[in-house]
Amino acid sequence: MKKFILILLTGVLFHFAHSQNEIILKPEEAKTEISRHIYGHFAEHLGRCIYDGIYAGSDSPLANKDGVRTDVIEALKNLNIPNLRWPGGCFADTYHWKDGIGPKDERKHIENLSWGNEREDNGFGTHEFLDLCEQLGAEPYLAVNMNSGSVQEAVEWVQYVNHKNGSSDLTDLRQENGRDKPWNVKYWGIGNESWDCGGDMTAEYYSNLYKRYATAMTSYANTEKLFRIAVGPGSDDYAWTETVMKNIPAKRIEGLSVHHYSVFDWSAKGPSDTFSDEEYFKTMHRAWFMEEFINKNSEIMDKYDPDKNVALIVDEWGGWYESIPDKGILYQQNTIRDAMIAGMTLNIFNNHADRVRMANLAQTVNVLQAVILTEGEKMLLTPTYHVMEMYKVHQDAKLIPISLNSEKMVNGNQSLPAISVSASVDSQNLLHLSIVNVDNEKDHPISIDLGDAKYKKVSGRILTSESVRDHNSFSDPDKITPRSFNKATLKKGKITFELPKNSVVVLEVSE
């Protein structure tokens, strides 16, 4: 009898130990599409992002198309980049677009006042950027200079890139400069961080000024159909959101942009590849703040826009650490920690797809949480690149709401869920689940109730490495790449497997 009770108890304890991380899918509640624009990127004239990273110049010995590195284009194409934000960032707050058009040897040389006072020859301007977007099949997202620029300058930029041939001297100039038809740019950011580098404005002042831009950039009858994006907060300053949403009428705003970087201390950000376990936890805790940040901003938006017509746009996000000296401004290494940030953050965005309809990782090449690093002719794909590539299955797929019961990672009085997940079903009826084990100390058992017994097959891919500090380097560029994952078993609508520590898994489930 004693033996029987012992066996029973062990069984019960084993069951609890192994049912901590439970995911339940609710396919009957699926109604929202995950906008592909959540998977957007951001490229600023900063350090080696544009010059050297993306743009080598047409007389470069490196393979290029109109000056843009062919290797970079090919790698980016594989991510199905839906949109690209340019030219900044703080750089946009001092940028005059007319400096960057016309014959290259006649373009004005300027000082990059936002980033290191470097000399900028404007070799990469409006034409080069919009042509790059066409090559990538990405929608351009232009950020208007609302600080040192003017309403008129913004109006003329819209006319130059969007209006039909013969409309004005500006469209004649566009044709003279080699572009015959308009590019039809839809996404326009009106200002950037206007509470800081974008003019240090109050929310009241910003929203009044915004309305002058938003009305003038479209024609009076509003026929341009621009998607106008207003500046939101970059911290828990929710009063900013409240003022902007209250002051700008619904007919003048299509999106509200917010910024959040996973930084635990702005004065001591810690190294990008030799961080401690403590720093790892703190970074992930800040990454997890994205959930609260979106919830609180959405709550305010719901008050003024209950039908969710205005999109919440996280147009700068990612990890930000101490820069590596002599490699370019804001150049940092990209480790498995960054894969954890990307996996968790993209899951948060997917799960809030009803309000979050665009996001832009900061930044594309050689700056902050880059997907690509370059060194001369060499190029490598970072762990973040691989997460973006694995997650592209969610683009434009239908979100499957989930309930998640996750174990916690705890450090002092702070905690965060060890597991992060999102699920979607695509147009081929394939179900995809992206699951992250943020825990850097232990593997976790996962059980998933699919809520539908029709599924019979499961396969997957995993991105992981022994240490959260592991990264790809120019001497070992493929140390971390996705591998196939065949440890998940599917029985009667339930999937179970052990998720290794610091790993991202994307499962594909079919009938």
Specify whether the backbone of 493 is left (phi greater than 0), alpha (psi in -120 to 50) or beta: left
β partners of residue 506: 434, 461
Q: Which of residues 466-505 bind ligand AHR (CB under 6 A)?
A: none
Using CB under 6 A, pick the residue from 89, 233, 270, 482 that binds ligand AHR.
89
- Minimum CB separation of residue 89 from ligand AHR in Å reads 3
Nearer to ligand AHR, 193 or 291 (CB): 193
Contact between 316 and ligand AHR (CB under 6 A)? yes
What are the residues whose beta carbons fall under 8 Å from the beta carbon of 245, sequence distance 6 or more? 256, 300, 301, 303, 304, 305, 310
Which residues have a catalytic role annotated? 193, 316
Q: Are 227 and 186 in contact (CB under 8 A)?
A: yes
Output 361 or 421, the one with its CB closest to ligand AHR: 361
Separation between Cα atoms, residue 187 and residue 341, nearest integer Å: 26
Residues numbered 356-385 forming contacts with ligand AHR, rule: CB under 6 A = 362-363, 368
Q: How many residues bind ligand AHR (CB under 6 A)?
A: 10
Angle in degrees, CA 102, 103, 108, rounded to 5: 75
433 - beta bridge partners?
A: 423, 507
Antiparallel, parallel or unpaired: β 408-411 and 414-417: antiparallel
* Identity of the residue, 90 or 450, whose beta carbon is nearer to ligand AHR in the bound complex: 90
Q: From 20-28, 85-93, 117-125, 224-232, give the range in contact with ligand AHR by CB under 6 A.
A: 85-93
Cα-based angle 251, 254, 255 (whole degrees, multiple of 5): 140
Report the run of H or E that residue 315 belongs to, with start and end: strand 311-319
Angle between helices 126-136 and 151-162 (to 10 degrees): 50
The region of 88-96, 164-172, 217-225, 472-480 touching ligand AHR under the rule CB under 6 A is 88-96
Among 67, 82, 87, 88, binds ligand AHR (CB under 6 A): 88
> Contact 346/434 with Cβ under 8 angstroms?
yes
Minimum Å gap between C-beta 464 and ligand AHR is 28
Query: Which of 23, 34, 84, 90 is the binder for ligand AHR (CB under 6 A)?
Result: 90
Options 64, 94, 162, 192; binder of ligand AHR; rule CB under 6 A: 192
Nearer to ligand AHR, 146 or 495 (CB): 146
Q: Which stretch binds ligand AHR (CB under 6 A): 6-14, 19-27, 84-92, 173-181?
A: 84-92
When asked if residue 314 is in the footprint of ligand AHR (CB under 6 A), the reply is: no
- Residue 97 or 497 with smaller CB distance to ligand AHR: 97
Residues between 28 and 57 with contacts to ligand AHR, criterion CB under 6 A: 44
Specify whether the CB–CB gap between 118 and 112 falls below 8 A. yes
**Measured between alpha carbons, how far is 348 from 258 in angstroms, rounded to an integer?**
15
Please check whether residue 45 is in contact with residue 367, taking contact to mean a CB–CB distance below 8 angstroms: no
Contact residues: ligand AHR, CB under 6 A: 44, 88-90, 192-193, 316, 362-363, 368
